[in-house]
Chain A
């Protein structure tokens, strides 16, 4: 283990580490803590300059309630859910198929096509923006939630394929080989043999893609103009414009937007991290 384990060092150092740890964390999360404190204080506090002290009264429920009552935050959150869940399902499902094809079959297009998925996954969004807008226009799905889901699902298929292919490649190939020799149909091998084995990868991808899509701002702002279809990220930005000088509400709305991915992360931490390392480092 590197650096040397702290329990083997002197008492002073050990104590210093134990003190330093919470202090460092406090500084690291200071912006977040500060905005949380703002979100639970009354508006009058900010006006009188009490931005960082003890709030004159704790208004957690009032402020967050006001966000829901005064704005379309609930609608925005629902829209985000309607975008993120189908996208996750479609792209992970498609990637199981493509990843399987690219990992198991040895045909000469396997590597070039795999690289195509990888390369497409890394391009800047702006190079796709105008043709995608144009196409959505002509397919008459611009400004709709399904239209946004279609794009997200297609784009995320690239990342999911990268991950899934590498995961399946690491499975023992002899299993598939022997099933083939027994005369099992290719689709049955996929369904009954490989799919149960890739469950961890599916879990990792689901958590990750859900978070990516939940946090997407660019594509939603390009493909959706209708207020009633906006996801929470764009919604919060709009609120920021409407609620000038009402920082307690803006901060409450921002934190609301962050809650679901944070919960997701804490619930599925192991899978989340496995996904982020692109499968490069196992563990």
Chain B
């Protein structure tokens, strides 16, 4: 009896001891967090410039934060309340770090951006750290309605959306072409997928060069049909073409199409791989059954294969829409929105207005971003709705 009580009190003592220790560490970490600043770190470590103290300060802060979180977890798990309600509390502990992190960097900024769009602001604070913007209501949106560049960007976004969709059928076509079992087909499949792995900046540079009217790939192909090489009066060989090869990225009417074509290259590869995996999982029974019923070619594709590829098609459409609306890297590398803003899209126009050359127009930029967000929201809602249906079915 006595030994039993000692064990109990011992246990109680270590549990409380742990809780108290964790509590002390938690308080210390939080206090230190409030105390640490770049000025302090600069002074302590003797950095010559404040900027150089930034990274060390960041690491000190992060370590303190991790310490505080760990201490908090220890504290919570040693409470008897936790032990009685494990299954209710545990998920929140698992979620907490990721959720808070995601909230701070992704969810809250959405609403901040929307609120910026009702202000005029250049991103600066005055010397006392007070916001220098002013509230202007719907002014930015009124400006948008009268901005021809906005309409060009919107129209180009629409073009991107429509033409980018070509990636889905072309991807399916290539996937069908490659869905064979000959020797070395795996290597062919991976090489076809190649363009997707490369950064969009590099794809952009490759195509900028390919489109170059003087020495690009396209001008070379052009010269097979329209050019002849002559010796000029200086005795050098020159190329004479009629008509001259087009300068795709330098032409207002063609620039956007040129960039979209470049963007399609990796996107087709992505859709192709989605369909290849989809084709892998098709039930051979149904194909055989279809064959017995005399279906082949197009009919088989339409009535037997495509219904089974539905999940792949869905993902392909989702990623293509997102890719189309996110198009930024290509435009930044290939034309910077030019010539004369003709290849702008909302994503790039927003960037240009907010942090481009000259004064930052944070309010106006945010209004453009909000419009883009609302367009995307249509697709996001659709995607979530589909996911919700799947979840309900799975139950």
Contacts and interface: CB of A to CB of B under 8 A. Distances in A.
Contact of A258 (B38, B94, B199, B311): B199
B91 A254 contact: no
B322 A122 contact: yes
Contacts of A55: none
A203 B38 CA distance: 38
A59 interface: no
Interface in B334-362: 346-347, 350-351, 354-355, 362
Contact of A28 (B57, B190, B192): B192
A146 B55 CA distance: 7
A270 to B, nearest CB: 11
Contacts of A131: 108-109, 112-113, 116
Interface in B355-395: 355, 362, 365-366, 368-370, 372-373, 376, 379-380, 383-384, 387-388, 391
Interface in A201-222: 211, 214-215, 217-218, 221-222
Nearest to A152: B105
A35 B209 contact: yes
A164 to B, nearest CB: 10
Which of A35, A147, A251, A281 has most B Cβ within 10 Å?
Answer: A281
Most A CB atoms within 10 A — which of B194, B273, B279, B296?
B194
B86 to A, nearest CB: 6
A262 B55 CA distance: 31
A282 B281 CA distance: 8
Nearest to A134: B123
B106 A221 contact: no
Given A2-B282, A119-B384, A122-B383, A107 B94 contact: no
A51 interface: yes
B179 interface: yes
A123 B97 contact: no
B101 A34 contact: no
B200 to A, nearest CB: 7
Q: Which of A95, A151, A186 has the most CB of B within 10 A?
A: A186
For the residues of B in contact with A, the DSSP-based class is: helix
Contacts of B333: 217, 237, 240
A32 B217 CA distance: 11
B32 to A, nearest CB: 16
Interface residues of A, number: 111
A240 B101 CA distance: 36
B94 A190 contact: yes
Interface in B212-233: 215, 217, 220
B205 A236 contact: yes
B380 A119 contact: yes
Contacts of B113: 127-131
Interface stretch (B1-9, B19-27, B137-145, B324-332): B324-332
Contact of B109 (A32, A127, A139, A221): A127
B135 interface: no
Nearest to B265: A31
Given A2-B287, A51-B215, A130-B366, A124 B277 contact: no
Contact of B325 (A51, A124, A129, A130): A124
Given A128-B109, A130-B123, A258-B202, A107 B88 contact: yes
A143 B38 CA distance: 15
B376 A122 contact: yes
Given A31-B210, A146-B55, A125 B355 contact: no
A157 B201 contact: no
Contacts of A34: 210, 217
Most B CB atoms within 10 A — which of A46, A132, A264? A132
A276 B54 contact: no
B206 interface: yes
B194 A29 contact: yes
A141 B379 CA distance: 33
A34 B216 CA distance: 9
A31 B204 CA distance: 11
B372 A105 contact: no
Contacts of B200: 215, 217
Contact of B194 (A24, A145, A262): A262
B190 A144 contact: no
Interface in B122-150: 123
A129 B300 contact: no
A282 B51 CA distance: 49
A153 to B, nearest CB: 7
B95 A98 contact: yes
B365 A130 contact: yes
Contacts of A100: 94
A51 B220 contact: yes
A21 B102 contact: no
Contacts of A98: 94-95, 98-99
A154 B106 contact: yes
B98 A144 contact: no
A223 to B, nearest CB: 11
Given A2-B179, A218-B328, 18 more contacts: A2-B282, A49-B237, A94-B101, A101-B90, A101-B92, A119-B384, A120-B107, A122-B380, A127-B113, A131-B109, A135-B104, A140-B57, A144-B58, A154-B104, A187-B77, A215-B199, A217-B329, A281-B274
29 contacts: A1-B279, A3-B176, A3-B179, A29-B191, A29-B195, A31-B210, A32-B194, A32-B198, A46-B215, A52-B217, A94-B97, A98-B95, A111-B391, A126-B368, A128-B105, A131-B113, A132-B109, A133-B355, A134-B123, A135-B105, A151-B105, A157-B102, A233-B199, A254-B205, A254-B206, A262-B194, A277-B274, A277-B277, A281-B311
